[in-house]
Amino acid sequence: MATLKDVAQKANVSKMTVSRVINQPELVTEELKTLVYQAMKELNYRPNTAAKALARNRTMIIKVLILEKMDITEPYYMNLLNGIAQELDKYNYALQLMTENSVDLGNCDGYIITGTRKSDFEWIPQLDKPVVLFGENDRQIPFVDSDNEAGIATATQYAIDRGYEHVQFIGIDVPELFEKSREKGYLSVMAQYPEKEQIIHRIKNSSSVSEQLIREEIKLEPNTCFICASDRIAIGVERGLQAENYDIPQDYGIIGFDGVFLDQIASPKLTTMKQDIVGMGQTCVKQLMRLIDKKKLKNKNELFFAKLIERGTTK
């Protein structure tokens, strides 16, 4: 069985450096971490997690809570969990997936929580361990999220630049900050074009509901682009327009928001604002580890810019 000394010799570094990479990776350069991780992999070296936990008076467990009532096999969450797991592995931490009902079962060193709603802020501050939220909030709790306002603003401006005369926003009918930020992004751009009507629809985050909206509930005007708060909504819009035999993207354009899977199975494929879900999951861990080590965060709120991916639903 390989030892710490073997890893140090293989990587041509000191045992202290190997120990620091394992126990305090944030203090080590990326170059050194790469050398040590490669040596550990080649030697099949596994740190003694139990001994490490005992020495540092830690559990070496991070609890991840998904509070939305949604199947965790949803690609969005699988990308998030992938990013979290990748980063936790660098710190030799285990991931424990929890629900709101089991949050108090067993000890841990910290929490990453996503899918929060207003009611959740009644109990989250009572947790006795560091917390990082995946999703913006105004409760002074550290969070990581996409820049929702900037993302939708980018999509709205792109639709106007592509020559769409009318631009409508289809949001998610929830009283949450991320949705307000996305609507703000749409309105901020539309305000620069007073000749264009500002139209916002708020619906359930459902493709069947958005399809019904298009087919039965709104008057369709040619040369309209629909800016959607999710790819799920955008797919329903696409289906609704196709059912009425409209030309996409000439008659109507569609821009989604997420870019983790659904955008690629649509036909034509969706133009969308792609979020770096994996990267945000990794940053959640980095932020949480600083809090666990009782260090101040350089930025309490980490915002990622979504990237516009141009595909077949815009001209």
Instruction: Give bridge partners of residue 131 from the DSSP assignment.
Output: 111
Instruction: Give bridge partners of residue 94 from the DSSP assignment.
Output: 61
> Can you give the pTM of this predicted structure?
0.82
DSSP secondary structure, 193-229, as one string: -TTSPPEEEEE-S-HHHHHHIIIIIS---SSEEEEES
Residue 45's pLDDT is what?
86
- Spatial distance between the Cα atoms of 219 and 226, rounded to a whole number of angstroms: 13
Q: Positive or negative CA dihedral for 29, 31, 34, 36? A: negative
All structural domains of the chain: 4-47 (no CATH), 61-145+277-304 (3.40.50.2300), 148-274 (3.40.50.2300)
Helices (H) and strands (E) in the chain, counts: 11, 12
CA dihedral angle for residue 227, residue 181, residue 86, residue 28, rounded to 10 degrees: 130
Which long-range contacts link 216-224 to residues 24+ away (Cβ below 8 Å)? Answer: 220/244, 220/246, 220/252, 221/165, 221/166, 222/251, 222/252, 223/163, 223/164, 223/165, 223/166, 223/251, 223/252, 224/164, 224/165, 224/166, 224/167, 224/168, 224/252, 224/253
Residue 289's pLDDT is what?
95
Element (H, E) at 280: helix 277-292
Residue 272's pLDDT is what?
98
| 99 within 8 A of 65, measured Cβ to Cβ | yes
Residue 24's pLDDT is what?
74
Separation in Å, CA 112 to CA 62, 71, 107, 115, 177: 7, 18, 14, 11, 18
CA dihedral angle for residue 93, residue 97, residue 100, residue 102, rounded to 10 degrees: -80
Residue 48's pLDDT is what?
67
Q: What is the DSSP letter of 74?
A: S
Which long-range contacts link 247-252 to residues 24+ away (Cβ below 8 Å)? Answer: 248/312, 248/313, 249/312, 249/313, 249/314, 249/315, 250/315, 251/222, 251/223, 252/220, 252/222, 252/223, 252/224, 252/225, 252/226
Which stretches of the chain score pLDDT less than 50? none
Q: Positive or negative CA dihedral for 275, 276, 280, 281? A: positive
- Spatial distance between the Cα atoms of 80 and 281, rounded to a whole number of angstroms: 5
Separation in Å, CA 121 to CA 105, 166, 289: 19, 38, 22
Residue 26's pLDDT is what?
74
